[in-house]
Each structure stands twice: as structure tokens, then as C-alpha cells.
Amino acid sequence: MTDLDFDAERRLFLKRLAGASAAIGVSGLVACVQTKTAPAPSAPAPANDAPPPVGTRGRLGELETVLLRHASGSSAAIAIQGAHVTSWKRANGEEMLFVSENSPLVPGQPIRGGIPVIFPQFASLGPLPGHGLLRTATWDVAEVSRDPSGAVFALFRTRDTEEMRAVWPHPFRASLRVTLEEALSTALTIENTGQEPFPFHAALHTYLRVGDLRQVTVAGLEGARYQDRTAKSVERRERRRPVAIRGETDRIYMARPDRLRIRDESRQRTILLDRAGFNDVVLWNPGEEKARTKSGLADGEYLTMLAVESAQIVPPVQLAAGSLWSGVQHLRVS
């Protein structure tokens, strides 16, 4: 990729972030406007002039999903429970996200894999259930459409409920916009609808599917400070360049907003991860022992996944009454 290509992509990425900030109050742009034209029997329009269907409904186990399809041939699936991305396939059919075959796919149970939405608490860093309140929440499908660039998207919305307020007494609205082209962008927006400020963590807990974890490296974390959650969150500095995954890994890399390059040597591909609004990165893999005893993964699955999470944890976001916060991540294969 040349510098000019990168600059153009960065401008598009930041433009979409600006759009995500308005997602709660604006339903989005509709790119396809129907117009009436006189029939021309002698010269019918070619069938491929019509844009492909943007999205349909499907099912994953007992969960209802929204299926997105892009003109390039790429596709994505999002479970309406949790606004949870469960699949991102390239045009060649290659699946990029990991979902465990042991994952319960039933209402009320979180999915193990894909891209869970984490809010307002990361993991066990607070009094709430692990990873907060939204993974099994009911979300509304606000819009499924195509934007002016040709990308297709689905917009989901949810808000606080009486049950949530019983354990976390802060009114809020949340939206998640999933945008698909050859790449996949996921934008989370939180609005404080109450009268008092509140703190929160947020993350997109992205489980990447890899060919062989032992041949995966992550570049872009060199020199970063991180909390090692396998060692009581002791703070260390990353000395490796790039980072290889050896054994159980659970780290919060702090204030590291730069592009990451996840190299999957066994599949001869590099995944580029760009972020805005999320300054932290979490790397997680349970390792062989915990994969067997505590992770809920099937035998050997830990070698086929790596969680690379866009996050804002240290420090938490402090959101004033009536204010919005947005974070977005952009994944593509180079």
C-alpha cells in the first residue's frame, strides 16, 4: 500500500467515524433512489445493472440474524441479540472470524466468538456481570441499507432497561453500525441520556480466525505499556517486535492507537486493524491448559483463534450528561 493509498483510506475511515457519532439520532443515508423510466423492450437493461440485495434475515442456532452481502462477494452476519457480528467472509468465501463450536446459540446466552460488544464494564473490572450488559441485550434493527460509496450497512440500537438500571443506574442509548465492503467496519456509539456523568469501559472483542496460532504475530505494539492480567495486572513494557503468542495471553496495551498488522503466516495473509476512539488494545488467548478447563472452547480450538480487541479501558471514558462517545474499528486483509 502506498502512502497515498493509506491517506485516502484513513480519510474514508475517519469520515465513517463522524457518521457513527450521529448514528443514534440519524437513521443514515439511503444510496439507492428508485426512479421511473419508460420500458424499452428493444434494449432491456442488463441484469447485472441492478444492485444485489443489501441484507436478509437468517438464523444462527436459535438466534435471528441480519445477513449483509456486498457487490464484491463479501458477506457478514450479525445476531440481533447483542448486535453481535458472528461472521465476516471475504469474496473467496474465507471466514475471518472465529466462533466456537461449543458456543450456545440460544437467547439469553452470550456467544463465544465473533465480535461481542462490551459495555459498560470490561471483563471483571467492576461489580457487573463479566463484560457488562449488552452481549445478551435486545437490540432493534434500525436500518439496513447501502451508502453512497456502495458499502452496505446495518444499524442496531438499544437503550437502558429497568433490569439494567437495577444493577447500573445510568440512562443511556447505544448504537452499533456494521459496514461491509471488502473490509469490515464496526462503530459503537454511546449517548448519556441522564442528568449525571458516568464512567464506562467499551470494547469490540474481536475473535479472529487464524490458521495456526503458533505462526501468528502482531506488529504495532512495540514499546507499549501493558497490564498483564495473567500476573495480577502487573504493568510491563512490550519488548518484542513483533509480538508472538506463547501460552496463555491476556494483556491490555494502553494508549496504543496506531495501526496493527496481524500476520497469519500459515494462511499467508495479513489483517490490518485501524481504530479511532479506542486507544487500548487487548490481546487474549486462553492457552492450552485454560482452553481445556475454563474457556468453553472445543478441543484444539485455541490454536485457531486470537482475540485482538479495540478497547477503551485505561482510563475509562467519562461521559457528560447529554454527550456522545464513538469508537470504530476497521478490518481488512492486505
DSSP 258-296: S-EEEEEGGGTEEEEEEEES--EEEEEE-HHHHHHHTS-
Q: Which has the closest alpha carbon to 180: 70, 30, 83, 85? A: 70
Decide if 170 is catalytic: no
Helix (H) or strand (E) holding 16: helix 3-21
Q: Could you give phi then psi for residue 292, rounded to 5 degrees?
A: -80, -35
CA dihedral 113, 116, 121, 122 (to 10 degrees): 40
Helix (H) or strand (E) holding 58: strand 55-60
The C-alpha atoms of residue 108 and residue 323 are separated, in whole angstroms, by: 30
Decide if 143 is catalytic: no
Catalytic: which of 205, 238, 301, 330? 205
DSSP 60-93: ETTEEEEEEE-TTS-EEEEETBTTEEEEEE-TT-
Catalytic: which of 181, 191, 238, 309? 309
Residue bearing cell 440474524: 65
Q: Which three cell numbers stand for residue 105?
A: 446459540
Query: Exposure string (b/e) for 256-271, b if CB count within 10 Å is 16 or more?
Result: beeebebbbeebebeb
Instruction: List active site positions.
Output: 205, 309
